[in-house]
Amino acid sequence: MPPITSLQLGRRIDAAQGKIPCDGMLRGAKVLDVFHCEWRTLDVGWIDGVIVSLDAGISAKRELEGKGTFLVPGFIDAHVHVESSLVVPGQFEKMVLPKGTTTAVCDPHELTNVLGTEGLKYFLDAAEKLKMDLRVMLSSCVPATHMETNGGGQLLVESLLPFRSHPKVLGLAEMMNVPGVLNKELDVLAKVTAFSDTNLDGHSPLVKGRALSAYLSAGINSCHECSELEEAREKLIKGMRVWIREGSVAKDLHTLIPLLTLATSTSMGFCTDDRNPLDTAHEGHLDFLVRTAIKEGVPMEIAYRTASWSVARHYGLDRGIERRGAIAPGYIADMVWLSDAKSVAIRDVFVKGTPLPELDLGLPSPTKFSNTIRAKMPMASDLEGPKGNVHVIGVKAGKIVTGRTVEYSTANGVAKLSVLERHGKGSKPANAYVRGFGENFEGAISSSVGHDSHNLITVGSRTEDMAIALRALEESGGGIAVVQKGKVLSRLSLPLGGLMSSKEPGEIAANLLQLREASRSIGCELAEPFLQLAFLSLPVIPSLKLTDKGLVDVDNFKIIPVSAG
């Protein structure tokens, strides 16, 4: 962003003193003072998109009556992958701004794993065009591990340093390679040290004790992967910021909410991580997390502070000439106007003082990526795994961690799982088994969203249907497909990197609803089968996962045979 001029500063100073009128004023609302966690009845005035006054007697060109209403800072998503919304950044903005999310801290490692630095540049360019404040953390683990194949190559520190000074960059994104940190791998430590004076986001599911202390000693200072209460408590005790996540699959809010108090609220925040347009349309975005926290007994003041100022402080967004996260003089006028604070009933959203209906949310033209599905399509016989006693991945509904069992390959409820490298290397599929999609699951689901390298992943009862589902992805340039008895029942095209669409969020949500109905019709019992499937190929989340290179024992960080002897 361009530096502020003396003239602009002068206008702020004059407006604050009543020498010139503010651009806008909301009078008499109950305003959240995030510094003391108290409500105060105030007149809030702003000029040139910046709050300059909380004082009585100041005039404004435009005045709004706020009596009986509430005003809180715009919500800040502490960690999100925009790609998981399945829409491009311009459409993401249209989707979340009405829900009160005015700032989001994103890690574009999904697209970067597909396209390398081209994907990173795409997000940085898009961020500069949006009305909302989209901040970017530079992807630290591309690929996530050596046990998978991606399309973006390996991003070493030399690839990231040219972007370090970009005005939208906040630091280094989630360091998923915990073993790399603990084992002092040179390329991992090079990234950490190069960004040691910035924000270093963490990713340490179920890490505890000495391992956690060592990980934190490297300077990494946040984690959005806590799924257990005591895990999060230990991280808070050791000085780590804990982001409470409620995505479409990973739902940790109910588990972690007992930890959120006035004392801990300065060290906790909310994030969505991976949340699809259907859940955002039906439940909400960060407003859903705030609303649910309040329902579960968190005082309103603490819930709203956690959704704004706490995250702003961590990332340094509350400093400098354009501060965010509070309603106070000198802070950007990103505000959520509520008719009722307890139910998070949003009356309007202000972005730099402009009401939402007056914002021009024109969609930036998306880059026209070519079809990134370059896999050699397999025959049905190529998708057959070994027979007999096998290691089986156990899906846990609402979690991205998995269980593990040893079962017979044809046991009831055990489905076939395959991951096919799709970036043009010509590899054959890796095949394994999974339980959790349903005892009467008859058909196949496939997706080009396969975290984090985004190879093609398919689950099914018949390899013939699985092969057809994979070909449907090839035809669409990526996306999601549901197949039964040789027929494609429903599909969603995601042509931008096989991850995103430029269509309206409502259209994508409707398409997802059709896909969910199709998945239920073939016996799938999971409420969100598509993201649940996508995370089965992520080898940095315990305990057992499948990549294009084979079955990964995440606990021991190695590839193991599918056959269990």
| pLDDT band with cut points at 50, 70 and 90 for residue 2 | low
209-248, pLDDT tens digit by residue?
999 999 999 999 999 999 999 999 999 999 999 999 999 9
Q: Chain centroid to CA 17: how far?
A: 42
Residue-level pLDDT at 3: 77
For 317-401, list the strands marked E by DSSP. 335-340, 345-351, 354-355, 389-395
Kindly tell me the sign of the dihedral angle through the C-alpha atoms of 456, 462, 463, 468.
Answer: negative
**Rg for the chain, CA atoms, rounded:** 24
Tens digit of each residue's pLDDT (9 = 90 or more) over 294-348: 999 999 999 999 999 999 999 999 998 889 999 999 999 999 999 999 999 999 9
**pLDDT number for residue 362:** 65
pLDDT in tens, 358-413: 998 866 555 566 899 999 999 999 999 999 999 999 999 988 999 999 999 999 99
Indicate if the pLDDT at residue 424 is higher than 60: yes
Closest CA to 42 of 19, 20, 60, 25: 25
The domain made up of 73-358 has a fold known as TIM Barrel (3.20.20)
Q: Are 232 and 259 in contact (CB under 8 A)?
A: yes
From 2-11, 118-127, 377-386, 416-425, the region with the lowest mean pLDDT: 2-11
Q: Which of 85, 90, 205 is nearest to 144 (CA)?
A: 205
Flag whether the pTM goes above 0.85.
Answer: yes
| SS3 assignment, position 237 | helix
Residue 261's pLDDT band (cuts 50, 70, 90): very high
pLDDT in tens, 6-62: 999 999 999 999 999 999 999 999 999 999 999 999 999 999 999 999 999 999 999
- Tokens at residue 250, please? 């990973």
The size of the chain, in residues, is 565
- Alpha-carbon distance of 136 to 128, in angstroms, equals 11
Check: CB of residue 499 under 8 Å from CB of residue 111.
yes
Please enumerate in sequence order all residues whose Cβ is within 8 A of that of 479, keeping only pairs 6 or more positions apart, or say none: 447, 448, 473, 491, 492, 493, 494, 495, 498
Quote the mean pLDDT of the chain.
96
Q: Is the pLDDT of residue 168 over 80?
A: yes
Where are the domains positioned within the chain? Answer: 73-358, 380-560
Query: Which tens digits make up the pLDDT trace of 184-203?
Result: 999 999 999 999 999 999 99
| Amino acid letter for position 550 | G
What DSSP designation does 210 have? Answer: H
CA 199 vs. chain centroid, Å, equals 17
Render pLDDT for 497-520 as a digit per residue (tens, 0 to 9): 999 999 999 999 999 999 999 999
Q: Contact at 8 Å (CB) between 544 and 551?
A: yes
Is pLDDT above 70 for 544?
A: yes
Question: Cβ of 68: how many Cβ atoms within 10 Å?
Answer: 10
Cβ neighbors of 123 (< 8 A, separation 6 or more) are 82, 89, 106, 108, 111, 134, 136
Q: Within 10 Å of residue 320's Cβ, how many Cβ atoms?
A: 10
**Beta strand extents in 287-441 (DSSP E only):** 335-340, 345-351, 354-355, 389-395, 402-408, 414-420, 430-435
Find the mean pLDDT for residues 59-77: 98
- Is residue 470 over pLDDT 70? yes
Instruction: Name the 3-class secondary structure at 304.
Output: helix
* Cα angle value 202/96/497 (rounded, 5°): 65
